[in-house]
Every structure is written in structure tokens, then in C-alpha cells.
Structure 1
Amino acid sequence: MSVPPRSAIRPGLTVDIVQKHHQRSGQLTRGVVAQLLTSSATHPHGIKVRLTTGEVGRVQALANAE
């Protein structure tokens, strides 16, 4: 599974993220992007974002693409 690039992620988009404390289990959290925190175009583990709920994690998938 390939993680989406920064260009595919924007505020208001629904995504699935993995939070730092869930990296080993791979548990995903679904939410709406409030802010992009990674400035580079790509990252091997996913672009880091903050959700509207305040949770921070790396994007694993775009929920709207399902």
C-alpha cells in the first residue's frame, strides 16, 4: 500500500491516519484534515497532519477514494 503524496492532501479532506502510539498495531483513525504538518512533497511513512479533533498522525489513505 502506497501512502498518498502531499499534493493529494488538503484541509477539509477525510483521511485515515496512524497515530504515533498506534504505529506498531497499525490502528487507523479517520478524520478531517485541519492542517498539514509535513512540508516535503513525500514521506515514506506518510504526510503528517493534524485533524479537526486535534489528533496528529501520518496519512495512510484518503477515505474519499474508497
Structure 2
Amino acid sequence: MDGKLRKNIKIGALVDIVLKKDQRTGKLTRGHVKRLLTNSPNHPHGIKVMLVEGDQVGRVQQIVDES
């Protein structure tokens, strides 16, 4: 599922994000959503979130599992 709409992303969901340092390469990092950091209902580059794993911050590229 697409990570550009805030309503699609739930706390605890398993997502693939791109970290700021990986934006040029497009390398994805997988983890569970701890916090939603983007307040607007959508964002063209993906909703910014913080992951439970290591408090990493990046933009959601894909929602893997909505659990």
C-alpha cells in the first residue's frame, strides 16, 4: 500500500521507509511505526514517521503490514 496518505498509516504498522541519508540511493529500511511526524493528510514524498527500531526517522515508501 502507498505511504503518501496519512490515513493509511497506523501506529505499529510494518513499513518500508527511506532515511534522509539514503534518499540518493533509495535504500529502504523496514520497521514498525512508533510515531507519525507529518501532520498534513498527504505528502508527495511519503509521510514522515519514526520507527520503534532505533528511533529512525524517514518517509514511508510502502506499507508492508497494517497490524
Same fold (TM over 0.5): yes
Q: If the length of structure 1 is used for normalisation, what is the TM-score?
A: 0.90
**Cα offset, 1:43, TM superposition:** 0.5
RMSD: 1.3
Q: 5+ residue gaps in structure 1?
A: none
Question: What is the number of equivalent residue pairs in this alignment?
Answer: 64
SS at match of 2:65: helix
Aligned to 2:15: 15
Does residue 61 (structure 1) correspond to residue 62 (structure 2)? The answer is yes
CA distance in 2, matches of 1:3, 1:19: 14
Q: Which consecutive unaligned segments of at least 5 residues does structure 2 have?
A: none
- TM-score calculated relative to the size of structure 2: 0.89
Moved over 2 A (4+): none
